[in-house]
A and B are shown apart, each in its own frame.
Chain A
């Protein structure tokens, strides 16, 4: 079974631009969660989607948004990029809701904002 895939793997953007990241979960998984990982803050929860609905959201500004499609694929959008948005963005999928147990991470998208 294929794992979680994320595209693109690397991205360089300029301050003020917007970016869209994509995540395809493991086949059959209905929950997708997004995380931001930086050396200073560690791994931080962005949001969780289940059955096309955002079920939970972390403490990030409204510039960070996402959505989930009927095939469970998810996209994350960051508008008006800031230098501090440079990070590794990870998505993870699980069969059911996040608290149910196992989730599997994708390889991540490395975003650099200049």
Chain B
């Protein structure tokens, strides 16, 4: 089982819609969870981090964490073409304290 799994996509949504990106992780003791956005040919940039169960909102972005289900998601409301990028989920393991990335989900927002 991969440590951090994401659907590779591509996920295609129309402009203005809600994009939902999902991530599951295998280490039940994981403690910190991150979402990064990476445009083609660019470096990753941090969008959100979340440590506690529940929702965390920042503008159009909402991160959701469910530790019991070992699941973290990112919702992007009112999606814009500029949101088209690869979204990377990353997790700090509870046992090894290492940052593990998923392979990323390619999101395309169509005008």
Taking beta carbons and an 8 Å cutoff, which residues of A are in contact with B? 33, 35, 42-45, 48, 56, 58, 90, 98-99, 101-108
Inter-chain contact A43/B98, CB cutoff 8 Å = no
Once the chains are docked, how many angstroms separate the CA of A109 from the CA of B7? 27
- For residue B100, which residues in chain A have a CB less than 8 angstroms away from its CB? 45
Inter-chain contact B104/A58, CB cutoff 8 Å = no
Is B17's beta carbon under 8 Å from chain A? no
Total interface residues in chain B, CB < 8 Å: 20
Inter-chain contact A99/B92, CB cutoff 8 Å = yes
CB of A56 to closest CB in B, whole Å: 6
Interface centre among B43, B44, B90, B100 (most CB of A within 10 A): B43
Residue of B nearest to A33 (CB): B99
Is B45's beta carbon under 8 Å from chain A? yes
Helix, strand, loop or mixed for chain A's interface?
strand
CB of A99 to closest CB in B, whole Å: 5
Taking beta carbons and an 8 Å cutoff, which residues of B are in contact with A? 31-32, 42-46, 49, 88, 90, 92, 96-104
- For residue A105, which residues in chain B have a CB less than 8 angstroms away from its CB? 43-45
Once the chains are docked, how many angstroms separate the CA of A101 from the CA of B49? 7
Interface centre among B44, B100, B102 (most CB of A within 10 A): B44
- For residue B96, which residues in chain A have a CB less than 8 angstroms away from its CB? 56
Once the chains are docked, how many angstroms separate the CA of A90 from the CA of B90? 15
3 smallest beta-carbon distances between A and B, as pairs: A105-B43, A43-B101, A42-B103
- For residue A42, which residues in chain B have a CB less than 8 angstroms away from its CB? 88, 101-104
Between A and B, 16 residue pairs with Cβ closer than 8 Å are A35-B101, A42-B102, A43-B44, A43-B88, A43-B101, A45-B100, A56-B98, A58-B98, A99-B31, A99-B32, A99-B97, A102-B49, A103-B46, A105-B43, A105-B45, A107-B42
